Amino acid sequence: MRTATELAARLREGLARVIVGNEESSFALLVAALAGGHVLLEGAPGTAKTLFVRTMARLLSVGFARIQFTPDLMPSDIVGTNVFSPKSGEFTLRHGPIFANFVLADEVNRTPPKTQSALLEAMEEGRVTIDGESHSLPSPFMIFATQNPIEFEGTYPLPEAQRDRFLVRALTGYPNRDEELALLKRAGEGFDSSDLSTAGIEPVANSVDLLRARADVQKVRIAQSVREYLYTIVARTRSTPSIELGASPRAAIALLRASQASAVIADRDFVTPDDVKAVATCVLAHRLILEPEAELEGVTTESATENIVADIPVPKEAAISEG
């Protein structure tokens, strides 16, 4: 586990040299990178969503592509298409930007659901189909989708099936007074977010290192009592009156994987209830749909998840170390 823990520490340090504040979002990105899942970054414009992804890609020295989602974007603009060459008389495949290790789907909710759905096969299976032929995507492969809050003009809500395929959602907010002053100080000293070398950001690992770390994460032990605790949280989302649609079995698996990654970040080879608590909101909240009456009362999916976790008793310490 040491290899994965050391990689997580180097990534966290690198992110901190660029991102001011947003520790919870940094943690969510680390969890997703180690667990091998996709990330939904949500926040107002200018809150470092794109910068998060660019920094992670540079730290890991992986192939990076950015897709700007707009209302007129077509699925073929994402996955690619076969192009006919009059000279050779043959069709050749022109890869789309999806053929990269880290793909930034910027403002993903500014394009209609038809185009959003072009990401589904890639996110679930690591491949895309072009003109009936399947093409594998590089490994590791991660989608980092950014979206503005849904109340912003010109946005389309992501389909439930697509939200369910994001391992975590990270909420990026405005910095507090001290954080923003620190940000202004950095800018005054020459930091340019478009040139990460100004922050001294250099690769700390590569794609092989990341895949090895993910293999370590999969070896993290989780006792039966902790699995039952995790299941109880997920099941409670399906029976809570304020929640119309609860978490799926895919969400339960995602919560397990994220909890294993949290344990590795904490330099442990077993999962504790605290690991489950640490990732529950970022893994589950974006998958839930509230009853309209609950929304009118000011309930959010985050607060609903936090209340569920707070109400469920944790296993005893002796049982955690079993297995």
- Average pLDDT of 165-180? 91
pLDDT at 98: 95
- Average pLDDT of 47-62? 91
pLDDT at 168: 97
Phi, psi of 289 (to 5 degrees): -125, 125
Confidence check: pLDDT of 2 > 80: no
- In this prediction the pTM is 0.90
Same fold, 1-216 and 220-323: no
Q: Which tokens in the block code for residue 46?
A: 């200018």
Q: Which CATH superfamily includes the segment(s) 220-323?
A: Magnesium chelatase subunit I, C-Terminal domain (1.10.8.80)
pLDDT at 318: 44
Q: Are 16 and 231 in contact (CB under 8 A)?
A: no
Q: Which tokens in the block code for residue 107?
A: 């403002």
Phi, psi of 4 (to 5 degrees): -65, -40
Helix/strand/coil percent split, the chain, to 5: 50, 15, 35
Phi, psi of 243 (to 5 degrees): -110, 120
pLDDT tens for each residue of 58-114: 999 999 999 999 888 998 899 998 886 777 777 778 899 999 999 999 988 888 888
- Average pLDDT of 12-39? 93
- Average pLDDT of 207-226? 95
Look up residue 82 and give its amino acid: N
How far, CA to CA in Å, does 201 sit from each of 11, 21, 101, 129, 176?
A: 10, 17, 19, 36, 24
Task: Point out the least confidently predicted range of 96-105, 145-154, 217-226, 263-272.
Answer: 145-154
The correct CATH number of 1-216 out of 3.90.10.10, 3.40.50.300, 3.40.720.10, 3.40.50.2000 is 3.40.50.300
- Average pLDDT of 162-190? 89
Q: Are 144 and 102 in contact (CB under 8 A)?
A: yes
Give the domain ranges of the chain: 1-216, 220-323
Phi, psi of 316 (to 5 degrees): -70, 150
- Average pLDDT of 142-169? 82
Look up residue 175 and give its amino acid: P
DSSP, residue by residue, 2-64: HHHHHHHHHHHHHHHTT--S-HHHHHHHHHHHHHT-EEEEE--TTSSHHHHHHHHHHHHT--E
| Cα 43 to Cα 160: distance, rounded to the nearest angstrom | 19
